[in-house]
Structure 1
């Protein structure tokens, strides 16, 4: 119980730091330079230009129905940490907005702003939360349309926001730098969370394989291959789970295994290519 409380406290400290970093990126680099970096935050910047409602407040207003949708789809545990992050982001964005831009160089603003967002999002995801917005929408869409790739959905949403920023500001330059911010954000977050590996192959030997399997199915939409095993020293029969997943899902998978069995034995390796349902088509010719 104490260990779980310490873990939760640590996660909320991480979420607080992430909210500050995210707000710095928006209020000191992107927003004052008219750079709308995709997602709900980008939409909030555009709405602010028409309504003069603070960007952080708009961000919260748009996110509330989206988070409720996430609660309906994924349960109460999902909503607590996400609402905490959103509330802090709202407060910090609005508070820091009075300081204005720290630079008027659009390239510096886009790269540093995007990098800071990437760091913030990586911290949020490591703590098992989200910042709401497009993350939730993509997750909901994927529950119904599993054949649509996650990165394609994010690209589609971000592209629409960037196009809208071009129309709102009547400036192709700021739209171009918004694209740079989105790309930088994605690269930084990806490197922090997953390194450069394309996919992960995980072998899990634990005392609660059934509980792990159920959470893999229910929370991560993953399946596993069960391999009968036996301890060389104890001769006790075991079930070994072999799981192959995209690198984006691995941190959550690791958390699930640790939650169910802290003494679990895990072997994690990189898989450069995966063929089969949900991955690459083995019959498709390479370019």
Structure 2
């Protein structure tokens, strides 16, 4: 039941992501004649030269690549891209026909920014659950399987090629706005992919390292005591390694400094964290921790009323 609910949530997230991506392209990028990447860029060219529908072109090529991918890469791969293969061009066609949405902003620069943010959120939601918009992902994966070619360079080369073929039929403003749009959606997409999964890493050096370690355990954080050697004096020095969420950074730092105000603390960002001990293991209002003698964990005991 839990697995079914998770799958349902992921499907909804992929559909929403494809809808947002299509909305960004149809309502912000295409109305201002921006260069765009992927199969939408190919559709833009077929529309310019042959008058074919952008969404129709994307759908046809998507289906061809989907069949090719299913044949060469198998059903499991096909299942991972089927939602994007179908839903993205459908949403693109719907939003293209909704002409009242095509000039939500009157400034081309603002349209480029909006397109980048919305598309970045959409693609981020899709990639967070391992989905895809289909299309352009298929050829690099096939080449990787059959010829051992790395996926990323091929994908970048295809995207650059699609960008380049649009330049002769695009005004300078459309080229610059398209590049800005691509930069923004890349940044936003990467932020969305790791959103809520990151934290901060602390390395605490102190003469009272045992007390600091015990205090952090009492607060409910996972720690690792590491043995180090000073570079100048070659003196042995223990340190505490700890990864916490951003909102708990100050709590951990102040706890360490309350024990040793001269403690040397380094803090760095961590993109993604998996495993136990990242968040506190108990509710401060209801439970109090009791550190085991060997400091291997925390026993939770109900507070007495």
TM category (shorter chain) comes to 0.5 to 0.7
Match in the other structure for 1:225? none
- 2:132 pairs, out of 113, 130, 133, with 130
Compute the displacement of 1:159 (Å). Answer: 1.9
**Correspondence 1:205-216 to 2 at 5 A:** none
Paired residues of 2:85 and 2:133 also in contact (CA < 8 A): yes
Match in the other structure for 2:173? 173
Question: Cα–Cα, structure 1 residues 145 and 193, in superposed 2: closer, same or farther, change >3 Å?
Answer: farther
Residue deviations 1:190-247, cap 9 Å, x none? 122147x9xxxxxxxxxxxxxxxxxxxxxxxxxxxxxxxxxxxxxxxxxxxxxxxxx9
Length-normalised TM-score, structure 2: 0.58
Unaligned runs of 5+ in 2: 198-269, 279-305
Compute the displacement of 1:21 (Å). Answer: 0.5
Compute the displacement of 1:106 (Å). Answer: 2.4
Q: CA RMSD in A?
A: 2.9
Match in the other structure for 1:258? none
Q: 1 CA distance for matches of 2:122 and 2:72?
A: 25
Q: 2 CA distance for matches of 1:132 and 1:72?
A: 15
Question: Cα–Cα, structure 1 residues 49 and 85, in superposed 2: closer, same or farther, change >3 Å?
Answer: same
Residue deviations 1:162-199, cap 9 Å, x none? 22111123x2221222122222221111122147x9xx
Question: Cα–Cα, structure 1 residues 172 and 193, in superposed 2: closer, same or farther, change >3 Å?
Answer: same
Residue deviations 1:39-77, cap 9 Å, x none? 111111221222333221111111122222322343213
Q: Is the radius of gyration larger for structure 1 or structure 2?
A: 2
Q: 1 CA distance for matches of 2:88 and 2:151?
A: 28
Match in the other structure for 1:215? none
**Correspondence 1:1-287 to 2 at 5 A:** 2-98=1-97, 99=99, 100-144=102-146, 146=148, 148=150, 150=152, 152-169=153-170, 171-194=171-194
Question: Cα–Cα, structure 1 residues 173 and 193, in superposed 2: closer, same or farther, change >3 Å?
Answer: same
Compute the displacement of 1:266 (Å). Answer: 7.1
Paired residues of 1:70 and 1:136 also in contact (CA < 8 A): yes
Q: 2 CA distance for matches of 1:69 and 1:50?
A: 26
Q: 1 CA distance for matches of 2:277 and 2:120?
A: 28
Paired residues of 1:118 and 1:185 also in contact (CA < 8 A): yes
Number of aligned residue pairs: 202
Length-normalised TM-score, structure 1: 0.62
Paired residues of 1:78 and 1:129 also in contact (CA < 8 A): no
Unaligned runs of 5+ in 1: 198-246, 255-264, 269-287
Question: Cα–Cα, structure 1 residues 185 and 137, in superposed 2: closer, same or farther, change >3 Å?
Answer: farther
Paired residues of 2:81 and 2:134 also in contact (CA < 8 A): yes
Paired residues of 2:28 and 2:114 also in contact (CA < 8 A): yes
Q: 1 CA distance for matches of 2:149 and 2:63?
A: 28
Compute the displacement of 1:128 (Å). Answer: 2.3
Q: 2 CA distance for matches of 1:77 and 1:267?
A: 34
